[in-house]
Amino acid sequence: APPSVALNNGLQMPLLGLGTYKLRGPEEVLAAVDAALAAGYRAFDSAAVYRNEADLGRALKQLLPKYGLTRKDVFITSKLGPKDQGEKAMEGALHSLSQLDLNYIDLYLIHWPGTQGLPVADHRNPGNRAQSWATLEELHGQGKLKALGVSNYTPAHMRELMSSCRVPPAVLQVEFHPRLCQAELRSVCDESGVCFQAYSSLGKGELLSDPLILEVAERYKRTPAQVLLRWAVQQGIPVLPKSSNPERIEENSRIFDFELSRTDMERLSSLDCGQKFCWDPSQVA
Ligand code: A2P
């Protein structure tokens, strides 16, 4: 079994998953999934907005037998798009299931606290989030979504959800790397039993040339990407590196056979400066 964490509903989620943002088209997705399965990845992170759910579903169907695997051996995540937030949530989630051509999705997240087409500060945003969550709870009850979660939520969005949900979120997926250590969100998650999951651990590739990361990588005879991913998983935080390149997909999987010293972990964490390479949800009402 791949290294994994236990979610608050008992499900095991692998610490390493393939991010599929910007993977597009049957050939590119097939090649990436093939490289990932060969390297030992057992989790795949998609989303309605990535428009690759159908390609991912087909790639898995085609490739699982090649590795002696079945559906239950892989952990599939997808996400409800901002255009389906609110009254279209049922349609959106069922569309993900049919695009992936799966009977169930392991983890389904609300991708973004806002609603497409509404101003960020619009007072209807909270109501739409609540309606989406209630819809996901219903599908969870039917066994179609095994675990539920959210992405890009701020501490305020998390507290709102925790105080109103029937099924508590299992996962919060946000941008996380040494320049964005997310202390407040991490303590909200720790206090409420939510698994904190990282995206863009490489800072969209921008952190690969950071002088401190390069220096640490050289000393451990590892690559900068491996150091950044190791820094997260060594804290028990699941990662989702995205790559379309088979060599880099393999490189990003070799993070469980070395350990960063406590000093180096702390030196990396001291880069924390709140820098976001992705979107900032802090203005979403
Ligand atoms: P590519 O798909 O060409 O490999 P993040 O996950 O932080 O958003 O970063 C993803 C970006 O980092 C992508 O542009 C990806 O490009 C690049 N990338 C992923 N893994 C590596 C690696 N091991 N070395 C260098 N670049 C990488």
Ligand 1 centroid distance, CA of 204 (Å): 6
pLDDT tens digits, residue range 232-262?
A: 999 999 999 999 999 999 999 999 999 999 9
Ligand 1 centroid distance, CA of 3 (Å): 22
The pLDDT > 90 percentage for the chain reads 99
Q: Which of 70, 58, 3, 31 is nearest to 245 (CA)?
A: 31
Show me where the domains of the chain are located: 4-272
The dihedrals phi and psi of 56, each to the nearest 5 degrees, come to -65, -45
Tokens 């169930």 map to which residue? 104
Q: Write the DSSP assignment of 120-152 as a string of letters.
A: TT-TTHHHHHHHHHHHHHHHHHTTSEEEEEEES
The interface predicted TM-score (ipTM) is 0.96
Domain 4-272: which topology?
Answer: TIM Barrel (3.20.20)
Q: Please report the atom of ligand 1 found closest to the CA of residue 207.
A: 7
User: Kind and range of the H or E element at 62?
Assistant: helix 53-63
Q: What pLDDT, on the 0 to 100 scale, is given for residue 37?
A: 98
245 lines ligand 1 (CB under 6 A): yes
CA 18, chain centre distance (Å): 9
Q: Please report the atom of ligand 1 found closest to the CA of residue 203.
A: 7
Q: Report, as residue numbers or ranges, the catalytic residues.
A: 50
Task: Collect all residues with Cβ–Cβ distance below 8 Å to 124 and sequence separation of at least 6.
Answer: 86, 115, 118
Q: What pLDDT, on the 0 to 100 scale, is given for residue 13?
A: 98
Ligand 1 centroid distance, CA of 19 (Å): 10
Total count of residues recorded for the chain: 285
Write down the pTM of the prediction: 0.98
